[in-house]
Structure formats: C-alpha cells, structure tokens
C-alpha cells in the first residue's frame, strides 16, 4: 500500500475518532472482572452523551453519536444510555466495543 497524504488523513481521522474505544479496550483487558463498569449520561451543548467509568475514573466520554459522519449529540438521555449499555455489554463479552450503524438502527437511536 502506498501511503499518500489522503490515506494518512483517513487513518488519522479514523484513529482519532476511535481512540477512546481503543484505550478503554486496552484498560479493560488489564482490569479484574469483579469490578463493574458504571454508565452515566451527560448533558452537552446540543443534546446528550455518556461516560463509562471504572473505579470512579472516566474511561470513555462520548459526547457525539459514533459512526455517523456528522458530529451530533444524542437527541435524548435514553438514547445515550442505550448505546452506553451496548458498549459495556460488548466489553464484558471481550468483543470489540465499536458501535456500528446497524447497532444504532437496532437500538432505534434517533439520528
């Protein structure tokens, strides 16, 4: 693969957008299973977001809807908590915590 400026921008954008998930996944693999993850909704300027914490330390702070190209917050607190619960469920199953567009559709998240 030839690396040019366009490919580099794409990978930087992809890495920046998924960095919180990557860091959290690495931290989770080193944490004990007895401790539980806590989710909490947060109010943003344009809607809602969520945090996932472990031992009172915030590991993920998601203020926008993942996967979609626009930078929009969740329209309701319930939508944000649904996605947070899905991420925690995936992490507890030792699978990738990434959220797909299909996951958002199945959860009936308003975009």
3-state secondary structure 22-69: HHHHHHHHHCCCCCCCEEEEEEECCEEEEEEEECCEEEEEECCCCCCC
**What range does the domain containing 21 cover?**
5-106
List per-residue pLDDT tens for the chain, 111 residues long: 455 556 556 656 655 666 566 666 666 665 555 568 999 999 999 999 999 998 889 989 999 998 888 889 999 999 999 999 999 999 888 888 899 999 999 999 987
Q: What is the pLDDT of residue 96?
A: 87
The verdict on residue 111 lying in a domain is no
The verdict on residue 68 lying in a domain is yes
Q: What is the pLDDT of residue 47?
A: 94
Q: How many domains are there within the chain?
A: 1
Q: What is the pLDDT of residue 51?
A: 95
pTM tops 0.75:
no
The verdict on residue 16 lying in a domain is yes
């Amino acid at each position: 693969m030839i690396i040019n400026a366009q490919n580099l921008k794409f990978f930087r954008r992809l890495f920046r957008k998924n960095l919180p998930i990557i860091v959290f996944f690495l931290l989770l693999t080193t944490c004990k299973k007895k401790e539980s993850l806590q989710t909490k909704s947060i109010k943003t300027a344009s809607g809602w977001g969520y945090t996932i914490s472990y031992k009172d330390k915030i590991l993920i702070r998601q203020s926008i809807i993942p996967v979609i190209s626009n930078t929009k917050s969740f329209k309701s607190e319930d939508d944000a908590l649904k996605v947070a619960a899905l991420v925690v469920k995936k992490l507890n199953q030792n699978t990738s915590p990434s959220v797909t567009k299909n996951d958002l559709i199945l959860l009936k998240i308003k975009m």
